[in-house]
Amino acid sequence: MGTISLKNARKAFGDVVIIPGASLDIRNGEFVVFVGPSGCGKSTLLRMIAGLEDLTSGAILIDGKDMTEAAPSKRGLSMVFQSYALYPHMSVRGNISFGLKMAGMPKAEIEAKVAKAAATLNLTEYLDRKPRQLSGGQRQRVAIGRAIVRNPEGFLFDEPLSNLDAALRVNMRLEIMQMHKDLGATMIYVTHDQVEAMTMADRIVVLNRGNIEQVGSPLELYNRPDSLFVAGFIGSPKMNLISGKPAEKFDAHTIGIRPEHLGISLKDGTWSAKISLAEHLGADTFLHVDAGPCGMMTVRAAGEYDAAPGAKIFLTPEPDRIHRFDKDGRAIRK
């Protein structure tokens, strides 16, 4: 039930390789997030799983069955598109029921399913409206409703929240997570937003230039990034990356230290730095400092840190929180 496996799935357009070869096993009921910068191939990978793109080579197994060549609708998957892709000429009811009609389900059964989905998603009173009469959040719900009614083995989400404003995005994030808990279905969720990835995922798949950089739970990625890329991508604000002389002292080509793992002192410390800018967020203060040979760094100070630009401070990294990387950008582990 609901396992999805990629076996060295490769995608290339002629000489242009989009995905050099991805292998991944997704367990039943898991919430997996594909994350990476734009153009990293995460959407392509999702569309390959959906059957909207071919594989150049390799295989996709769903529920243990080879689905590499199967038509999208035969894979038992539903997809929620970035633009929602609602049928603009159909009512909400028509949108939600279209897939069931295509499957030839009896009318009464369709009615019941649509009513149930609409009730869960608070869409009951909008069933006869057209998509253009709905707000962004409601359209999003219709897109989800359309995915739910087909009772799929797995859900695919392609950056579903990127068109919503910030407040609504947080709400919908919670709703999708609740839905995952209620349905227990496998979900694959694509986003470029690492905060979304960290908050929603059971496991995160970090993609970079079509390669899977690392797969792991949010905290694994946060605590033990395998590569410089993952280290720089996961966490906000970004990890400070320092190379050259200061890194050599730690037997590494590059070292990384997160802003929240730097101790601040006015008297002494490992590195001295000059404050160039302070961002006051209330609960935290982020100091952007010029740390001489270490370059520009970001430091988190708890609470309302009173800092004047130009003031001199000392920074000390927490020793067991220093990430070391070799010159190929791979993590050095003891």
Partner 1 sequence: MATQQTRTLGKLAVSPSVLMLLMWMLVPLSMTIYFSFLRYNLLDPNPICSLLTPGALLDAENRCLAGFSNYSYFLTDPAFFKAMGNSLKLVGWVLAISVASGTLLALLLDQAFYGRGFVRIMMIAPFLVMPTVSALVWQNMLMDPVSGFFAFISKSFGLQPIDWFTYHPLASVIIMVAWQWVPFATLILLTSLQSLDEEQKEAAEMDGTPPLSYFWYIVLPHLIRPMTVVILIETIFLLNVFAEIYVTGTAGPAGNLPFLVYQYGLIANDIGGASAGGIIAVILANIVAFFLMRMIGKNLEA
Partner 2 sequence: MARNASIRRKLVVTAFAWTVGLVIFFPILWTVLTSFKTEGDAINIASFFSTGWTTEAYSVVQSRSNYVQFAMNSVILALGSTFFALVIAIPSAWAMAFAPGKRTKDLLMWMLSTKMMPPVGALIPIYLIFRDFGLLDTRGGIITVLMLLNLPIIIWMLYTYFKEIPGEILEASRMDGASLGKELLYVLTPMAIPGIASTLLLNIILAWNEAFWTLALTTKDAAPLTQFIASYSSPEGLFWAKLSAASTMAIAPILVLGWFAQKQLVRGLTFGAVK
Distance, first Cα to last Cα, the chain: 39
Nearest CA-CA partner of 187 in 174, 200, 198 = 200
Placement of tokens 């035969």 in the chain: 74
- Kindly tell me which residue out of 21, 51, 210, 317 binds partner 1, with binding defined by CB under 8 A: 51
List binders of partner 2 among 242-261 (CB under 8 A).
none
Residue 54's binding partner out of partner 2, partner 1, none, with CB under 5 to 8 Å set by partner kind: partner 1
Residue 78's binding partner out of partner 2, partner 1, none, with CB under 5 to 8 Å set by partner kind: partner 2
Give one DSSP letter per residue of 249-305, joined into a string: TTTSSEEEE-GGGEEEESS--SEEEEEEEEEE-SSEEEEEEE-GGG-EEEEEEES--
Q: What is the 3-state secondary structure (H, E, C) of 289-316?
A: EECHHHCEEEEEEECCCCCCCCCEEEEE
- Kindly tell me which residue out of 103, 119, 174, 219 binds partner 2, with binding defined by CB under 8 A: 103
Using the rule CB under 8 A, is 85 a contact of partner 1?
no
Residue 61's binding partner out of partner 1, partner 2, none, with CB under 5 to 8 Å set by partner kind: none
Rounded to the nearest whole angstrom, what is the least distance from the CB of residue 52 to partner 1 in the complex? 7
Using the rule CB under 8 A, is 141 a contact of partner 2?
no
Nearest CA-CA partner of 42 in 58, 24, 57 = 24
Using the rule CB under 8 A, is 66 a contact of partner 1?
no
Using the rule CB under 8 A, is 85 a contact of partner 2?
yes
Using the rule CB under 8 A, is 52 a contact of partner 1?
yes
Is the C-alpha dihedral spanning 266, 270, 271, 272 positive or negative?
Answer: positive
Using the rule CB under 8 A, is 59 a contact of partner 1?
no
Contacting positions for partner 1 (CB under 8 A) = 51-54, 71
Which residues are at the interface with partner 2 (CB under 8 A)?
A: 50, 52, 71-73, 77-79, 81-83, 85-89, 98-99, 102-103, 146, 150
